[in-house]
Structure 1
Amino acid sequence: MDTGNQAQIDYWNGEVGQRWAENHRALDAAFAPFTQALFATSGLAPGEHVLDIGCGAGETALRAARQVGPEGHVTGADVSEPLLDAARARAVAEPAGGAAIEWLKADVQSHAFGMRFDHALSRFGVMFFDDSAAAFANIRASLKEGGRLRFLCWRAMAENTWVALPRTAVMPLLPDAEPPLPDAPGPFRFALRETLRPILDGAGFRDIAFEPVNRTMRVGDTPEDAAGFVVTRGPIARLLRERDPAVQEAALRTVVDLFAKLSGGGPVELGAACWLVSARA
């Protein structure tokens, strides 16, 4: 596999990728409202060939396979072997009953797909490229003329209460934490349309549209589950990953207490906001 995006490849093939793979059902449950938005007006048609960018543990690829049917084809591409292993196992245990799926370990930024897809989609998988311009140019080259691109990316952190609240709560434990670089790979890289639109324009996409999607996200059924989600798999997990175990435990307890107060001990539901971006090749 190409290694131009090596830092992300290493990250998603290590402990983080394994953790996401082991907890993919909780992730899919939390992201369900956004998955629904991604597919609600996707226009996927029987017989189409689909590229799922950053397919993870397979939820979106399996759904696409059902929509395009036996005459279609889906390629689920991801850099993470642990997540692809989870996707392959899931496809066996939960057959889609539709298109054949190719699970491909590949960096979409540089992999030579060739012009073969009618549709490229992604659920929160396009914000982690080392070179976004190169990545979207390669995605454009993988689409047939008139092919469609459709993906979800997070809006600003301040609009995502599920991240902002617990992050604010744990920051006193991390006085030396550096703010994220604005153009570095990360979940909020495309929070502003003004950042993303020129990249899509430069890659040759047209009919670019941004639809705001606001949902209430069930972060967990209990404060403990919800805190585990945001501390070990949410965006603040990177802040804590290499910290002393005592700091990690203190952060987890802080977020459990916060969520217990908010939810009264029941399910934790918080605001989440993203862009649904669409374009044509």
Structure 2
Amino acid sequence: MVTGNQAQIDYWNGEVGQRWADNHSALDTAFTPFTQALFAAAGLAPGERVLDIGCGAGETSLLAARQVGREGRVTAADVSGPLLEAARAREAAEPTGGASIEWLQADVQSHPFEERFDRALSRFGVMFFDDSAAAFANIRASLVEGGRLHFLCWRAMAENAWVALPRAAVMPLVPESEPPAPDAPGPFRFALRETVQAILAEAGFRDIAITPVDHPMTMGPTPEAAAEYAVRRSPVARLLQGCNQTVQDAALRTLADLFVRLSGNGPVELGAACWLVSARA
């Protein structure tokens, strides 16, 4: 599977993808309020065919399968083999009793879907395409006429304290690096409402609605757990990729101290802000 997204494919099939797969429950817990907002907006109905884009370890796919029921169908697509392996294990351990799920290792930017879907949804999985215009055109082509797209994407880093504060704290510990280009794949690719609007319109979507959603992000039940989450599974992890163990340990200590100052010894909650986007094919 060689595509324009090869850098992302390599990233999510390496150590990072395995780490996320091994610790998916912490991620699902942190994202709970956003998952609820996504599914409330989508309002999936029994019998619908759903494409889950960037399904990760499968929580959103399993929820969709329950909601569309035995008469429905879910195709759960992700480039990451380790995350899909975790998703299959979750389904085997906790059958949904609902729709069948096809776990598909594929790049949604270019995969030729043979089936047409009533709905496409994604929880923070659409910001990593090498060519966003091509990806959303392909998603649009995968939907039936009038089919609906629903997804979550992060707003600007400055509005997301759960990333901005830990990032600022560890920056003195890591080598200087060039900031990514505004249109490069990454968690804040769609920080600007205008960017999202333009790409969806270009892909042929209509009735585009872009709504801000703000919730505290629970980073962990203790400062130490929150530091582990930030260092291993948040966007801060990319800053530390390739750093030696001494730097990794220093980052953990720095963030644990920061979180104690912010939250005492209890749960750590920091602000998080995203867009909830809906559109019609």
The TM-score, its normalising length taken from structure 2, stands at 0.98
Q: Does 1:163 align with 2:158?
A: no
1:124-163 equivalences in 2 (<5 Å): 124-163=124-163
Give the CA RMSD over aligned residues. Answer: 0.9
**Residues 158-185 of structure 1: CA distance to partner in whole angstroms, max 9, x if unpaired?**
1101111111111122351322221111
Structure 2 residue runs of 5 or longer lacking an equivalent are none
Aligned to 2:65: 65
Structure 1 residue runs of 5 or longer lacking an equivalent are none
Q: Does 1:201 align with 2:201?
A: yes
Aligned to 2:27: 27
**Residues 36-67 of structure 1: CA distance to partner in whole angstroms, max 9, x if unpaired?**
00001312111000000000000000000011
Aligned to 1:109: 109
Range that drifts further, 242-251 or 261-270: 242-251
Aligned to 1:263: 263
Aligned to 1:224: 224
Amino acid at match of 2:153: C
Aligned to 1:77: 77
Query: What percentage of aligned pairs have identical amino acids?
Result: 77
d(CA) in 1 for partners of 2:7, 2:203? 23
d(CA) in 1 for partners of 2:224, 2:218? 13
Asked if structure 1 preserves the Cα contact closer than 8 Å seen for 2:41 and 2:150, the reply is no
Amino acid at match of 2:116: R
d(CA) in 1 for partners of 2:9, 2:203? 23
- Equivalences, count: 281
Aligned to 2:177: 177
d(CA) in 2 for partners of 1:115, 1:208? 24
**Residues 22-49 of structure 1: CA distance to partner in whole angstroms, max 9, x if unpaired?**
0000000000010000001312111000
d(CA) in 2 for partners of 1:262, 1:187? 24
1:91-110 equivalences in 2 (<5 Å): 91-110=91-110
Shift of 1:196: 1.6
d(CA) in 2 for partners of 1:251, 1:180? 22
Shift of 1:2: 4.6
The TM-score, its normalising length taken from structure 1, stands at 0.98
Asked if structure 2 preserves the Cα contact closer than 8 Å seen for 1:115 and 1:144, the reply is no
Asked if structure 1 preserves the Cα contact closer than 8 Å seen for 2:69 and 2:99, the reply is yes
